Amino acid sequence: MISQIILNGFVLGATIALMAIGFTLIFGILRVVNFWHGEAYMFGAVLIFFLREQHGVNYVLAVAIAVAAVALLGLVSDQTIMRRFRGDLMGGVIATIALYLLFQNGMWYIFGGRPRGVSSVLTGNITILGTSISAGRLLVVIASFIAIAALGLFINRTKLGKKMRAVQQDREAAQIQGINANRIYGLTFAMATGLAALAGALIAPIYAVTPVMGGGPLMLTFIVVIVGGLGSISGAFLASFIIGFQQSFTAAYWGAELSLAVSFGLALLILLVLPRGLRGEE
């Protein structure tokens, strides 16, 4: 049973990590609290349903299309709406809440409220640590780690990634050096929402797809980025698995209905000891 709980924690932690790292990118570089981040997750899952179940598109191709489409939506929303609220934290919050309501209600009208299922791309189980895990869940973990590793290499090794770090550290100094901050902001929003869409696309064959499925992951994402430290990618990654394991253990022993309350309690305890989170800067 312990092994099963640990494996479930890895699956949940990997999914949250994709969401939380994207959320952290947006906050760290744009200083925007993106309340429609959960809807990017939902869009990824819904697009997988339409592409795979309605049109028979290959799963890998469907994931690529879903991620690209949501990333484009993130880019457009940044360049047309969010750019007007840069430097205005409260205005940005109101704008992202408005987009959250618009996207969720619009998808409810198009998709309907009935939960839908997506056929699994992989069948069968794999035994790890003496415990059986479905191949589909294992795919979520592997794909998430590959995506996170690729993002880390991009940010730390490429010229464009270094420009993103420069804008995060000091936007004015970066602009003096010839870096186009507006372009970096658009790229950041696109990458972040694309990561959230990838999480939804990976999880679609495992859980039911609905227009309101982004609410739970968004709440866990808020907890994770606070525990990890606002603006810290490494902190978000570490906190994702702490909360993922906590959720898995709590659901197994005390019931899923208490999992979120325990997550908030754990976050409060960590912040009492580490007010800036695990890896947050002052």
Kindly report the pTM of this predicted structure.
Answer: 0.93
- Consecutive sets of 10 residues in the chain, 282 residues long: mean pLDDT of each? 84 92 91 93 95 91 96 95 85 93 93 87 75 83 93 92 90 88 93 96 92 92 91 90 92 85 91 86 57
DSSP per position, 92-116: HHHHHHHHHHHHHHHHHHHH-SS-B
For the chain, the structural domain boundaries read 2-115+126-214
- For residue 250, give both structure tokens: 């709590």
Q: For residue 113, which amino acid is it? A: G
Cα separation, 196 vs 217, in Å, equals 10
> Could you write out the three-class secondary structure of 140-209?
HHHHHHHHHHHHHHHHHHCHHHHHHHHHHHCHHHHHHCCCCHHHHHHHHHHHHHHHHHHHHHHHCCCCCE
Chain segment 66-98, per-residue pLDDT in tens: 999 999 999 999 999 998 888 788 899 999 999
Cα separation, 249 vs 116, in Å, equals 27
The pLDDT of residue 121 = 79
- For residue 83, give both structure tokens: 């750019």
